[in-house]
Structure 1
Amino acid sequence: MPELTSTQLTFTFANSLPLWQLIVIGLLLGAYIGYQVWYLRQKTAIWVALLVSGLRLLAFTLIILFLTNPTILLQTLQKIPIPLALLLDTSESMGLPAATSAETTRLRQAQDLLIEGRVLDTLARDFDLRVYRFAEHAQPLTRDDVAALAADGRATNVAQSLADVQQEYHDTPLAGIVVISDGIVTAGEVPTETVHQTGLPVVTVGMGDPDHYRDIQVAAIEAPNFAFIHNPTEIEVTVRSWGYRGLVIPLVLKQEGRIISTSSLHLNDDRVTKRTTFTVTPKEVGRYRLSVETPVQVGEMLRANNHKDFQLQVRRDKIRVLVVSGRPSWNYRFLRRALKSDPSIDLISFIILRTPTDEVNVPDDQLSLIPFPTNRLFTEELGNFDLLIFDNFSYLLYFPMLYLENIRKFVADGGAFAMFGGDQSFDLGGFANTPIEDILPVTLEQSRSGYVHSRVKMELTPEGLQHPITRLAPNVEETQRIWHEMPALRGFNRARRPKPEAVTLGVTADGQFSQLPLMATLQYGEGRTLAFLSDQLWRWNFELVGAKGGNHHYLNMVHQMVRWLVKEPSLRPVRLFSDKDVYQLGETVALRIRVLDHDFSPAPGAVLNLVVSDPQGQSVRVNALPAEEPGEFQATLNAEPRGATRVEVTARLGEKYLGEDVLIYDVIPSSTEAATGAPDHEMLRQLAAATGGRFFTPAQVGADFAAVLRDILQRDLQYKIIEERALHLRHTPSAFVILVVLFGAEWVIRRRAGLA
């Protein structure tokens, strides 16, 4: 900026006398001159007396004046520029067209205003101008850099950028700040709530044309982090629209690319925010990728914001368990108590107190017992349960073979089934050669050999030591010790053998009946089953309380049994993990897979099928490599494209299916600028008003912009003295000459008048 200088002359007195001294001197001098006029008037003409006295008065006045040292100051002044900061928005939204049909971007519009419109030159003449670019933070630059700027900022944080500039000027307070932006704020605090506290005027210039902007945006989705299976869940969607007044747009809710619900919105104004609510009822537990989208309309400025992904995790609000017991028993009593002790279990139980063959001499309508609602339970309501337990129950007197087939289908579709022993269970209950035998882990005896009344203890198999149901301690040694102290059972059902695909957890360990299956599990279709071939399970509660003072091992086993049967996610043999839930576009996604065999021992030889599906439904298979820990695998991939990406893994060991898991992670743009492009001039107006500044459109910025800014900032031009010279008049020869002339003139007049 050129240095503007000027010269200024100032007359001053270096030595000033007190006023009272000046008054006294004036009175004495007046008295003296008056006396002299009176005296000379008696000897000469009046005009001579006045002329001589006047010359004497002038001479004495000059002498008195020289006593005050009159001085002429010659000052060279330099204008002090007013400190002013100019912030130019270079976020990605400034790369959008300045108008709907224009090819000029908002940043180019600002550059033309500053350079071609000579606003930079105008401001630089009157201000100490500092130029900054800003997006997330403010960065200083030279005036020559302005023309080459690009709209590449990933976010717009106006409040932080203003704070950055103020911090730089903390020793030299700014007169004000000029902000040139489209007004879109995508990060940080609302600037109008923070900047007004500083008292610094902010003048704003709005880029873009908000009156003719056209776009439809799926702005927000409000959905719970998780939903409960079979329970209606509301998903609220917010849509913002600019420039499509009168249009009715469809809105589609999709799950994994499949349409599950639709809605429509009437846009009744040019700028409108609409909300609608979708209600969905999840049918299965798991993590799902959902999306809300609306078709792209003609003339839309942005296309990517017509679609928004989110994920929904479906859980069980309660594990619904149905228990059917053939008769009252200690086993039923303690099992029911254990199930009721878990607040996450919703238990419904039926116990047979009277069979159809019992003779009762009372009409049915006078009995207090309710009938067994077999038809409703096993044809209509079965799918609403997660786990079905038969406790020493025989179906023969209560429902036909069709109901057993319904139970088999229930398990094949993902349900869980458990059977406890007794004299009415397994082959003694007539379940041999039925659909129930198909889903049991053991092959039933055909001869109905009966219930074995013998004292046996259960010994865990190597698989049982690792399995979540029977692993009652963190390590194998402690688990073995706990089961060694478990009381003996007093009877069991004899089964022929476990099925080849079953996992035997416990076997008999005493006498002639050693190594017979007592507890076994099976994966059947999508579901799981368990067989416990005894009705003496209650002794692990009752007798252990008497001997050890606690029943927590029994309760833990029952609770873990239920959770394993209903496929609680934490007990899955195949687990898929990612290092983060949300990734920026282009980041590296690190996946880790843990695979366990059916006995829950590590499965390092498992073969994985890892498939990644992007938001558009395109799938690609990814190789997973073994990690350091046995049974663990790892894979990496790039986070792209934006949206919710689904990762699914299935694991096999030979011909054996081990399990599967699903993971969903979100990929978001590295920039937050892609969501909305509507210029927000109202924010700029509020920012200017809150700080005592003023809002301008580009058309309002003219050649007098600097002068207008000075008025707004209430700052006049200021100068500083760079050179000063003092001329003391009493030290000059002319002062002496004047005195000589005055006294010499008085002497000449006196002589001519005959007074000398």
Structure 2
Amino acid sequence: MTGAVIFDPLLPWWLIAALGGMTLCAVALALWRGLSGWALRALGAAVILLALAGPVYQREDRAPLSDIVLVLDDTSASQKLGDRAAMTEEAAAALTERLGARANTEVRRVTVPDGPDNSGTQLMTALSEAIAEEPQGRIAGVFLLSDGRLHDIERAPDLPAPMHLLHTGREDDWDRRLIVEGAPAFAILGEEITLTLRIEDSGAVPAGMDSAPLDISVDGEAPQRFDVPVGRSIDLPLALPHGGRNVLQFTVPEAEGELTERNNSALVQINGVRDRLRVLLVSGEPHNGERTWRNLLKSDSSVDLVHFTILRPPDKQDGVPVRELSLIAFPTRELFLEKIDDFDLIIFDRYKRRGILPSLYLDNVRSYVEGGGAVLIAAGPDFASADSLYRSPLEAIVPARPTARVIDRGYRPTISELGHRHPVTAGLEEMHDGEWGRWLRQVEVDEATGDVVMTGAGDAPLLILDRVGEGRVSLLASDHAWLWNRGYEGGGPQLEMLRRLAHWMMKEPELEEEALWAEATGQEMRIIRRTLGESVPPVTVTTPVGDTVELDLSEVSPGRFEALYDGPVIGLYRLENGEHSAVIGLGPAAPVEFEQTIATGDLLADAIKATGGGVRALADGLPAIRTVREGRPAAGRTWLGVTPREAYRTLSVTQTALLPAWLVLLLVAGLVVGGWLREGRRT
């Protein structure tokens, strides 16, 4: 039970103050004139002013409330290093028991796990949420049991009580980590790139740790080891071995006594691209489709095009000077003998033998393909003639034999059953609204040895793809693809088809017909297997810790099989499916929890200092708990303090008027009459 005098004014305070001022003026005037009853009249006016202020005696019946102490127990990944987890659990249990034994005290214990999506330790977020659930007037203290490596310090709340950190570090803790300071996302094949790495030691580092071994592995192959200095950035030059995704893994072997090896490795994924794709286009004669090929190749910024058109063969004599037909002479020897290996693709567009390219040069083209080059033949009527390229040393690599028949009637190109699975033609039907326009000419071929991905008139082979030795050859048995580009009868996906065809010929990884790869989203990977077959065996996934998992692949579209897999840990995963294999890295090089592992109070120092709290190491034992007054330091050498809040709950309130109306009337009447009588005697 408590009591206090409060005021409940009948008039605004400013009006009461004005009346008080007028009363003082009247009293001063009475004194100046020497009136004998001024004192009694002044007392009457004071009673009226006091009555207007409404003095009330208020009594409250209160029930005291207990103080609340928050104990936050950090169970994030970095708290599982060494004996930190056991130390934290033991200290949290002992601290909770010790605080709970204090009179009028309740303990709220909050467990703080790893944050979602590799966001680290969200200690201040958990503290803010815990405080929001409790009346701040009852919070007497906050104890954090953690290594102090939190990742949301900017969310530290304003606290009404001391906050203390009991960290789990030891004086002899030390750790080593590998940092990738700079790595490009793309690199040009054949050119050297530079990665910047640093090996960093922190904590109580033992003597003699000036250098460390570094293992470097590409796509999961056997690693190479180098000895590198510690604490200094090093530039590592390297060249990518192949196009597409290259997965580089850098690993520093675990040193004796370090806290963890989880931050001793780094994965870098770099996409290998060609600098410039060099294409040689040889057109046998000017025709409507020639500009289509030229526009397609010139529109691709990654293609260097060399284009020659045979305007007049050597056997034609029409009197026109050669210098008026071409800017430069056709450098046949330079292109087909000396620099043929510099080209990624050679296209023969309606070309036939006219004595310009001797058989020796064409035989060199055959050798070029077998050694890894690519040749595309866009056939016109010339391919069915006696001067056909087929009747040359190229016969050994051309994937079909012409029958000498040219079909001159309209037909609609269609994708074959195999073509629906092949990446060059898969999905082309969905890329064009409506029915494809017709082509009007096709060279009939038979004895196709490659993959027939498109058919034409009478289901005859129209587009044939083949591999010869290390190289690739394709045959388009028509010179009327340009009709699609002109929109004839609605047109068709001509540019996309020819683009894919050219890039398949140049061995772009995304157009391989037999391929295995994976796409990562966080810790989930989508495993993709592309094949020309109708089924594939299960894929075997090998995790970073050596465990293996077999997954069945489901066909999502013709020739494309997929499966989803959630990686249990961060690191390098190996995929195997028959003769095909791939690697993929999931997650960052090291989780954010392991970027810094040495326990510290520096990150929380400002927030703790603002509340008067302290930082202590659990390795030194659990400090004593003391009671301190609000505003006083709450930490000593061997103790930490809590501030009692003396909070209460009001059960009832009783108010009694100190100047009831009848009393005011009697007092004022008595004082006024007394003043009048006093003045009357004097007169």
TM-score (norm 1): 0.61
For 1:128 and 1:526, the matched residues in 2 are separated by 80
DSSP-derived class of the 1:258 partner: coil
> Which residue of structure 1 lines up, in the alignment, with residue 573 of structure 2?
645
> Which residue of structure 2 lines up, in the alignment, with residue 61 of structure 1?
none
The answer to whether the aligner puts 1:474 opposite 2:429 as a matched pair is yes
For 1:408 and 1:687, the matched residues in 2 are separated by 74
* 1:248 pairs with one of 211, 219, 235: 211
Amino acid at match of 1:562: A
For 1:412 and 1:171, the matched residues in 2 are separated by 79
Describe the shift of the 1:636–1:704 C-alpha distance in structure 2 as closer, same or farther (beyond 3 A).
closer
DSSP-derived class of the 2:130 partner: helix
DSSP-derived class of the 1:282 partner: coil
Describe the shift of the 1:578–1:325 C-alpha distance in structure 2 as closer, same or farther (beyond 3 A).
closer
Deviations 1:383-440 (A, max 9, x none): 662x321221659645774774565554664x54201235776885675576633332
> Which residue of structure 2 lines up, in the alignment, with residue 26 of structure 1?
none
* 2:408 pairs with one of 425, 431, 455: 455
Amino acid at match of 1:212: D
Describe the shift of the 1:156–1:233 C-alpha distance in structure 2 as closer, same or farther (beyond 3 A).
same
Amino acid at match of 1:679: A
* Conservation of the 8 A alpha-carbon contact between 2:352 and 2:382: yes
The answer to whether the aligner puts 1:214 opposite 2:174 as a matched pair is yes
DSSP-derived class of the 2:293 partner: helix
Describe the shift of the 1:519–1:627 C-alpha distance in structure 2 as closer, same or farther (beyond 3 A).
closer
> Which residue of structure 2 lines up, in the alignment, with residue 106 of structure 1?
84
Deviations 1:74-108 (A, max 9, x none): xx9999765432323333433434xxxxxxx2344
The answer to whether the aligner puts 1:337 opposite 2:299 as a matched pair is no
The answer to whether the aligner puts 1:369 opposite 2:328 as a matched pair is yes
* 2:122 pairs with one of 137, 157, 163: 157
For 2:91 and 2:431, the matched residues in 1 are separated by 77
- Greater C-alpha Rg: 1
* Conservation of the 8 A alpha-carbon contact between 1:137 and 1:160: no
* Conservation of the 8 A alpha-carbon contact between 1:383 and 1:410: no
For 2:103 and 2:354, the matched residues in 1 are separated by 99
The answer to whether the aligner puts 1:325 opposite 2:283 as a matched pair is yes
Alpha-carbon offset, residue 255 of structure 1: 0.8
For 2:415 and 2:63, the matched residues in 1 are separated by 94
Amino acid at match of 1:207: T
For 1:321 and 1:522, the matched residues in 2 are separated by 19
* 1:540 pairs with one of 483, 489, 494: 483
For 1:558 and 1:411, the matched residues in 2 are separated by 23
Deviations 1:636-666 (A, max 9, x none): 7784665221324359xxxxxxxx6857352
* Conservation of the 8 A alpha-carbon contact between 1:693 and 1:712: yes
The answer to whether the aligner puts 1:128 opposite 2:83 as a matched pair is no
* Conservation of the 8 A alpha-carbon contact between 2:277 and 2:302: yes
> Which residue of structure 2 lines up, in the alignment, with residue 203 of structure 1?
164
Alignment of 1:526-537 (within 5 A): 527-534=471-478, 536-537=479-480
DSSP-derived class of the 1:529 partner: strand
For 1:633 and 1:442, the matched residues in 2 are separated by 31
> Which residue of structure 2 lines up, in the alignment, with residue 712 of structure 1?
633
Alignment of 1:158-557 (within 5 A): 158-170=123-135, 172-185=137-150, 189-191=151-153, 193-195=154-156, 201-209=162-170, 211-220=171-180, 223-225=183-185, 227=187, 229-230=189-190, 232-242=192-202, 243=205, 247-258=210-221, 265-268=228-231, 274-315=232-273, 320-343=278-301, 345-352=303-310, 369=328, 372=331, 374-375=333-334, 382=341, 385=344, 387-391=345-349, 392=351, 394=353, 397-398=356-357, 401=360, 404-405=363-364, 408=367, 410=369, 413=372, 415-421=373-379, 431-432=389-390, 436-443=394-401, 455-458=408-411, 460=413, 463=416, 466=420, 474=429, 481-483=435-437, 485-486=438-439, 488-489=440-441, 495=445, 497-503=446-452, 505-508=454-457, 517-525=461-469, 527-534=471-478, 536-537=479-480, 540=483, 544=486, 553-557=493-497
Describe the shift of the 1:263–1:221 C-alpha distance in structure 2 as closer, same or farther (beyond 3 A).
farther
DSSP-derived class of the 2:149 partner: coil
* Conservation of the 8 A alpha-carbon contact between 1:232 and 1:281: yes
* Conservation of the 8 A alpha-carbon contact between 2:281 and 2:346: yes
> Which residue of structure 2 lines up, in the alignment, with residue 583 of structure 1?
523
DSSP-derived class of the 1:305 partner: coil
For 1:472 and 1:88, the matched residues in 2 are separated by 55
For 1:177 and 1:621, the matched residues in 2 are separated by 46
For 1:469 and 1:119, the matched residues in 2 are separated by 68
Describe the shift of the 1:538–1:263 C-alpha distance in structure 2 as closer, same or farther (beyond 3 A).
same
Deviations 1:688-707 (A, max 9, x none): 23655433344496446544
For 2:463 and 2:476, the matched residues in 1 are separated by 5
Amino acid at match of 1:206: H
For 1:111 and 1:620, the matched residues in 2 are separated by 34
DSSP-derived class of the 2:258 partner: coil
* Conservation of the 8 A alpha-carbon contact between 2:628 and 2:642: no
> Which residue of structure 2 lines up, in the alignment, with residue 680 of structure 1?
600
For 2:553 and 2:320, the matched residues in 1 are separated by 73
Amino acid at match of 2:105: D
> Which residue of structure 1 lines up, in the alignment, with residue 586 of structure 2?
666
| Bigger shift: residues 154-163 or 670-679 | 670-679
Deviations 1:566-594 (A, max 9, x none): 4666655456576954437xxxx775656
Describe the shift of the 1:422–1:635 C-alpha distance in structure 2 as closer, same or farther (beyond 3 A).
closer
Amino acid at match of 1:96: L
For 2:615 and 2:412, the matched residues in 1 are separated by 83
Describe the shift of the 1:594–1:556 C-alpha distance in structure 2 as closer, same or farther (beyond 3 A).
closer
Alpha-carbon offset, residue 624 of structure 1: 3.6
> Which residue of structure 2 lines up, in the alignment, with residue 562 of structure 1?
502
Task: Identify unmatched segments of 5+ residues in structure 2.
Answer: 6-60, 635-640, 650-683
* Conservation of the 8 A alpha-carbon contact between 2:74 and 2:145: yes
Amino acid at match of 1:121: R
DSSP-derived class of the 2:499 partner: helix
For 1:553 and 1:632, the matched residues in 2 are separated by 21
For 1:476 and 1:267, the matched residues in 2 are separated by 55
For 1:519 and 1:579, the matched residues in 2 are separated by 31
Amino acid at match of 2:495: L
Alignment of 1:4-15 (within 5 A): none
For 1:177 and 1:354, the matched residues in 2 are separated by 93
Alpha-carbon offset, residue 537 of structure 1: 2.9
For 1:470 and 1:225, the matched residues in 2 are separated by 29
For 1:339 and 1:690, the matched residues in 2 are separated by 68
Alpha-carbon offset, residue 529 of structure 1: 2.4
DSSP-derived class of the 2:604 partner: helix
Alpha-carbon offset, residue 292 of structure 1: 0.9
Alpha-carbon offset, residue 293 of structure 1: 0.9
State the number of aligned residues: 578
DSSP-derived class of the 2:79 partner: helix
For 2:541 and 2:146, the matched residues in 1 are separated by 40
DSSP-derived class of the 1:216 partner: strand
Q: What value does the CA root-mean-square deviation take over the aligned residues?
A: 5.3
Deviations 1:714-748 (A, max 9, x none): 987566899xxxxxxxxxxxxxxxxxxxxxxxxxx
* Conservation of the 8 A alpha-carbon contact between 2:69 and 2:142: yes
The answer to whether the aligner puts 1:87 opposite 2:72 as a matched pair is yes
Amino acid at match of 2:296: A
DSSP-derived class of the 1:540 partner: helix
Amino acid at match of 1:558: L
Alpha-carbon offset, residue 378 of structure 1: 5.9
| More helix as a share of residues | 1
Identity of paired residues, percent?
Answer: 20
Describe the shift of the 1:595–1:516 C-alpha distance in structure 2 as closer, same or farther (beyond 3 A).
closer
Alpha-carbon offset, residue 687 of structure 1: 3.8
TM-score (norm 2): 0.66
